[in-house]
Structure 1
Amino acid sequence: MSAMEPRSLPNTPVSLKGFTLVEVMVAMVIGMIGLIVMMQVFSAAEGQRRATTGTGDAQSNGAMALYALQRDIRQGGYGFNALNVLGCPLTLPAPASRTLAQLGPVLVNPPTADVPAGDANTDTLLVTFGNNEGPPEGDVITAVNGSLIAVGAANNYLVNQWVIAAPSAPLNGCALTLAPVTAVAAPNVTVASSGAVDGGTLFNLGGNPRILAYAVRAGNLTVCDYRLADCGAACTVAGTCSASWVPIANNIVSLRAEYGHASTAVSGVDSWDKTTPVNASQATLACLWARTTALRIAIVARNSQVDRDQITAAAPTWAGSGSAATNIDLSARANWQNYRYKVFETVVPLRNLPWMSACT
């Protein structure tokens, strides 16, 4: 065969000439179906992961919030658990420089001037306790000479500790002042502007008494310390609060609380309500506080992931459910049913109150 003669190619089998249009289209359809299936599986797995992660966050946030509240409420009343101080208005020094409506171990929904309201359909708390190791019933004041207050155990006091001077017994019109100790020279403790009277009682709340306001704000459990800021003036009318209100747990959408009251000194808790003790007689008011020996609370934590479908048909319930004032109401947020929720609830004994003398 010469070099110029064209080569003859063998016949190409029909099966090696490529795919037909129909075969390509069928393959594309099969591939698309497979892709859709994979995307559906991925979407379901991702949704399950998000739900699981969000639920874990809700468990952690709710447990943290409940622990913080329990820890402080259990201390409520420590250092001033005596009938002659409970229910009296308390004037605070700077930076608060205000008078709280009344002194108690824990107040549910105190006046909004003391604790500005939180998110809609939530409760607020005001918890007070000291940290001194002295006698919780206080020391009897044997003499008062200006700012010099004579007590039987002056060595129990240190400079820069905070004290409250109270009358000897529950007194109508009582007014207390939280004031610092500036000097100690037995038998005298130097306290300016304390309001102390001869025969009264001096209560030592230690170097770091706590007056803590709790509220749910913008979906977070927040706390403000009256020893560091004026918590009552830290929020605007629109509900925006300053940095004095510190978030301690995220995605907390409800806080509910009720007092446990005893109808007599020996009956134990036999009723629950939100009614803060109040009475025209200071002696009766003090006894009402003495018979308020427990607090039950509920914290509602929300899953951080919103679902495209409504997955919560009704608001959760707790032991205090039964009235509009105590029910958990989440309807303030339009899409509240697109979230999952977890309720944490407990009963906290106000353990410092039973130490006092019983009231009839």
Structure 2
Amino acid sequence: MPPLHPRKRQQGFGLVETLVGMVVGLVATIIIYQVISTYEGIKRSTTSGADTQQNGIFSLATMERDLRAAGWGIPTAAIMPCTEYFTYYSNGTASGPVPNFPGTPVRIADGGVAAGASDSITMLWGTSIRSNVRNMLLQNATINPPGTSAANLQPTSKVALSGVGGFVWLTDDDGRCTLTRITASDVNPANANSVVLSHAAATGTATQPTYNPSGTVMTDLGWPTSFTKNPRIYDLGTFTQRTYSVTGGSLVSQDFFSSMTQVQLANNVVSLKAMYGISDANSQVVTNWVRATGAWATPTLADARRIKAVRIAVVVRSPLKEKAEGDAQACLTTTAAPESWPDGPAIDLSNDADWRCYRYRAFETIVPLRNVLWANLS
């Protein structure tokens, strides 16, 4: 007969089994962590590459759009051969000639070869469809002081003149070209086909600069005060002078005939390089590429007519800073500076001690100055 209280067999994990299970769990955890870490690294690199692609394409497309507009709505050099340009601005705290005014559809400012140096590009265009039509004045122009009845402009025709707030070039056979903003347009009682255009001076602000100097300022700046040799104006409409440059690791633009505020367009842009495509005299075909140095830093009127295209490159940096691999003391993510284009301007990023810890990509293109070509500025 069986015992009344049989001994039951004990069940459960022993110490060895528990330790083996913990080891297996730790190994599985380490593998999962490594997989997740690798995935996150790939994800960050992919996202960083997408950001770089977006910043580069946007920067290039924005500048290309404005380069294609350059030269529209402004008189050609053959129609209005200016020997001197006179411009002015006042934003309430600063005043003087309009900074970087090119006088030509495009002007490149070469930044040099120092580490971190970048070029800048200024484009100029207007909105008038009659910019090359000379509008003779009914009287000699005396523009000092502006805004008075003696200084008001009386064109022979009011056809297609821009409204109040638009710009005109005032010039004569002496070749002095004065940029003037129209502040009022009234019926000319002496001539039904004409109007009286005022260009009064005012105090500018940061958001609404003024572009007509007072009589005293005109004297201080050496402006011409009268135009007596076939005085005439050329209508510009709304005028745009936009400069692109690299500042603080971003591509920025500044419009000198609007608010003059510097606007950030794209971040992680570390370099901008540009060159002129020039033709031989009396030709429309680009035969050489030159930097904006030496004679091409401030080209003569004859040389400016030879500029038919611009080649630009923007270098964009990935937002993700990579770590040094293994026991390396320095980053080796990038070992050589990016190239603008084959045989193009060198790019030196060594002003940043950590420049090798980032990935870079250069975006470059050639933009023909179609308004210059269409105007046949040979």
TM-score category (smaller protein): 0.7 to 0.9
Name the structure 1 match of 2:230.
199
Using the alignment, how far apart are the partners of 1:151 and 1:162 within structure 2?
14
Unaligned runs of 5+ in 2: 142-149, 200-211, 213-224, 325-331
Name the structure 2 match of 1:270.
287
Query: Structure 1 197/56 Cα, relative in aligned 2: closer, same or farther at 3 Å?
Result: farther
What SS class does the counterpart of residue 336 from structure 2 fall into?
A: coil
Using the alignment, how far apart are the partners of 2:375 and 2:337 within structure 1?
40
Contact persistence 1:162–1:181 (CA under 8 A): no
Name the structure 2 match of 1:228.
258
Query: Structure 1 262/124 Cα, relative in aligned 2: closer, same or farther at 3 Å?
Result: same
Using the alignment, how far apart are the partners of 2:66 and 2:228 within structure 1?
31
Compute the TM-score of the two structures, normalised by the length of structure 2.
0.75
Using the alignment, how far apart are the partners of 1:71 and 1:336 within structure 2?
30
Q: What are the Cα deviations for residues 259-318 of structure 1, in whole angstroms up to 9, with x where unaligned? A: 111122216111212226969xx9x82221111111111111222111114322212213
What SS class does the counterpart of residue 47 from structure 2 fall into?
A: helix
What SS class does the counterpart of residue 73 from structure 1 fall into?
A: helix
Q: What are the Cα deviations for residues 14-71 of structure 1, in whole angstroms up to 9, with x where unaligned? A: xx25312x33322222221111111111111001111111111111111111111111
The number of residue pairs the alignment matches comes to: 323
Q: 1:180 aligns with which of 179, 182, 193?
A: 182
Name the structure 2 match of 1:305.
320
Contact persistence 1:260–1:296 (CA under 8 A): yes
Using the alignment, how far apart are the partners of 1:354 and 1:25 within structure 2?
82
Counterparts of 1:77-88 in structure 2, within 5 Å, are: 77-83=71-77, 84-85=80-81, 88=84
Using the alignment, how far apart are the partners of 1:178 and 1:313 within structure 2?
53
What SS class does the counterpart of residue 286 from structure 2 fall into?
A: coil
What SS class does the counterpart of residue 59 from structure 1 fall into?
A: helix
Using the alignment, how far apart are the partners of 2:266 and 2:342 within structure 1?
22
Compute the TM-score of the two structures, normalised by the length of structure 1.
0.78
Q: What is the letter of the counterpart of residue 10 of structure 1?
A: R
**In the alignment, structure 1 residue 53 sits paired with structure 2 residue 47:** yes
Contact persistence 1:87–1:103 (CA under 8 A): no
Name the structure 2 match of 1:26.
20
Unaligned runs of 5+ in 1: 1-6, 112-117, 231-243
> In angstroms, what is the RMSD of aligned CA positions?
3.2
Name the structure 2 match of 1:341.
360
Per the TM alignment, residue 203 of structure 1 is displaced from its structure 2 partner at its CA by 2.0
Using the alignment, how far apart are the partners of 1:110 and 1:179 within structure 2?
30
Worse-superposed segment, 135-144 or 32-41: 135-144
Query: Structure 1 136/50 Cα, relative in aligned 2: closer, same or farther at 3 Å?
Result: farther
Using the alignment, how far apart are the partners of 1:277 and 1:175 within structure 2?
25
Name the structure 2 match of 1:76.
70
Using the alignment, how far apart are the partners of 2:233 and 2:45 within structure 1?
55
**In the alignment, structure 1 residue 330 sits paired with structure 2 residue 349:** yes
Q: What is the letter of the counterpart of residue 352 of structure 1?
A: N
Counterparts of 1:1-360 in structure 2, within 5 Å, are: 8=5, 10-13=7-10, 16-20=11-15, 22-83=16-77, 84-85=80-81, 88-95=84-91, 97-100=95-98, 102-109=102-109, 120-141=116-137, 143-145=139-141, 146-157=150-161, 158-168=163-173, 171=175, 174-184=176-186, 185=188, 186-192=193-199, 196-206=227-237, 208-229=238-259, 244-266=261-283, 268-275=285-292, 285-309=300-324, 310-319=332-341, 321-322=343-344, 326-356=345-375, 358-359=377-378
Q: What is the letter of the counterpart of residue 99 of structure 1?
A: P
Query: Structure 1 191/321 Cα, relative in aligned 2: closer, same or farther at 3 Å?
Result: farther
Using the alignment, how far apart are the partners of 2:291 and 2:183 within structure 1?
36
Using the alignment, how far apart are the partners of 1:339 and 1:87 within structure 2?
48
Per the TM alignment, residue 217 of structure 1 is displaced from its structure 2 partner at its CA by 1.3
